[in-house]
Amino acid sequence: MKTCLITGGLGFIGTNFIKYLASHRKDIAIINADSITYAANPCNIDEKTMVNYKFYKIDIANNDELAEIFKKNKIDYVVNFAAESHVDRSILNPSVFVKTNIEGTLNLLKLSLEHKIEKFLQISTDEVYGSLGKDGLFTEMTPLSPRSPYSASKASADMLVMSFFHTYDMPVLITRCSNNYGQYQFPEKLIPLTIINALTGKDIPLYGDGKNIRDWIYVDDHVRGVLDVLEKGRFGEIYNIGGRSEMQNIGIISLILKKLNKPLSLIKYVKDRAGHDRRYAMDFSKITEELGFKPQLNLNEGLDLTISWYFENEDWWKKIISGDYRHYYKTMYEMR
Ligand code: NAD
Ligand code: DAU
């Protein structure tokens, strides 16, 4: 049996990855290390239902805490999801992004090297490539051009990961994915924010002219791609993962409102995000050709599943919007 250390496994994508791995790979033991920031939810994973699963509440930026996990367990794989993930927050407070996303990744790399792990997979983002105009797609060869403190911290982490491959011959892999949506996403991000605000009759803040474009991928597709790369990826390689579902923000909000039978008058145009990237779009032919990965759900299908999940799991998001973390739910527009 192999053991996989997954960081950030109580956040949105980490939770979905752990559930997928636990149900599809019974021969892999899981260690989940998460500091439980505002974006985490300890209720996401019911430990009683998990087999070969351990949880550690630790901060990856604290090398001593992290070292204990490596001392106590023989770790074969590391998948690093832990991060500060919200662009707007990075504009307000970049320091914690440097601490977790850069220093935390460096700690993980150093300990993984020392303990001679078999594979290190860094979960990165299309945002490291910067912003596209009307045409073109990001490929793995597109030069890095991060434009927010968040994306700069993720690009720095990617470069550290690659430096460990070149310098120490460490078995590293990187995935760069486009915008995820689906179950367990914290409602500061556009899609869950829109669903919950619509359901509770609140305005939906739309930044700038609303014509910025994102390439949306359903989270189940992303986590399948991550496992493909972990199992079959070539060391030292970067794999883009995309959803082939580009849409303007105004389009996606309008579509959700239509599905919920709510009025477009809930949309409120607000001041733009500083340095707002205009368009992201992915060429993910490398992972398709090398590893056979393709997204299985289109945006329409994925949104239906997502809306149903938020309908059926009111308790999950009501605790967030009215509980201890309610101030984090305030839209960034309200905070700035
Ligand atoms: P999230 O904010 O929902 O979850 C992040 C998790 O990391 C939380 O559980 C949090 O408690 C944990 N964490 C934060 N700081 C930590 C620290 N110092 N030590 C230990 N744990 C810590 O994020 P997400 O949307 O699930 O994103 C996961 C990863 O995927 C991130 O690396 C992000 O950059 C990347 N990514 C996200 C998207 C997206 O659309 N959400 C797309 C591409 C890549
Ligand atoms: O592309 C991958 C990235 O996607 C990940 O690396 C990030 O972790 C993740 O947060 C996400 O970043 P974005 O900034 O694209 O996601 P967000 O949901 O914050 O915003 C999506 C778009 O919607 C963006 O153009 C800004 C706009 N927006 C966002 C919010 C929260 C609004 O118009 N109104 C809002 O209230």
Task: Choose which residue among 176, 189, 271, 299 to substitute to test ligand 2 binding: the one with the highest number of ligand atoms within 8 A of its C-beta.
Answer: 189
* CB half-sphere exposure, 105, CA atoms < 13 A: 30
Contacts of 48 (CB under 8 A, 6+ apart): none
pLDDT of 281 higher than 90:
yes
Q: Residue 78 — left, alpha, or beta (φ > 0 → left; ψ -120 to 50 → alpha)?
A: beta
> Does residue 140 register a pLDDT over 80?
yes
Q: What is the mean pLDDT of the chain?
A: 96
pLDDT tens string 73-125: 999 999 999 999 999 999 999 999 999 999 999 999 999 999 999 999 999 99
The ligand whose atoms approach the alpha carbon of 221 most closely is: 1
Residue 333 pLDDT level (bands cut at 50, 70, 90): low
CA of 14 to the centre of ligand 1 (A): 7
Whether 329 shows a pLDDT value over 80: the answer reads: no
d(CA 320, CA 40): 10
What's residue 336's pLDDT? 62
CA–centroid distance, 331 to ligand 1, in Å, is: 18
Distance from residue 55's CA to the centre of ligand 1 (Å): 16
Residue 331 in contact with ligand 2 by CB distance below 6 A: yes
Res. 212: pLDDT tops 80: yes
**Strand order of the sheet with strand 237-241?**
53-57, 28-34, 2-7, 77-80, 119-125, 172-177, 237-241
> How far from each other are the two terminal CA atoms of the chain, in whole angstroms?
49
Q: Is the CB of 320 under 6 A from ligand 2?
A: no
- Residues involved in catalysis: 126-127, 150
pLDDT at 326: 72
| Span 261-271, average pLDDT | 97
The ligand minimizing its distance to the Cα of 123 is: 1
Crossing angle of helices 190-200 and 314-322, rounded to 10°: 90
Strand partners, 217: 180
pLDDT (average), residues 220-232: 98
Q: What is the pLDDT of residue 323?
A: 72
Which ligand 2 atom is the nearest neighbour of the CA of 124?
6
Q: How far is the CA of 214 from the centre of ligand 2 (A)?
A: 8
Residue 56, token pair as written in the block: 């550690």
**Structure tokens given for 199:** 């359901």
Q: Using a 6 Å cutoff on CB, does residue 157 contact ligand 1?
A: no
Is the CB of 56 inside a 6 Å radius of any atom of ligand 1? Answer: no
Q: Report the pLDDT averaged over residues 247-276.
A: 98
- Is the beta carbon of 60 within 6 A of some atom in ligand 1? yes
Report the alpha-carbon distance of residue 289 to residue 72 in Å, rounded. Answer: 39
Contact 225, 175 (CB under 8 A): yes
Give residue 331's pLDDT band: very low, low, confident or very high (50, 70, 90).
Answer: low
- Residue 84 Cβ inside 6 Å of ligand 2? The answer reads no
In order of start, what are the domains of the chain with their CATH numbers?
Answer: 2-180+219-241 (3.40.50.720)
pLDDT in tens, 235-257: 999 999 999 999 999 999 999 99
- Is 75:117 a contact under the CB 8 Å cutoff? yes
Q: What is the band of 218 on the pLDDT scale with cuts at 50, 70, 90?
A: very high
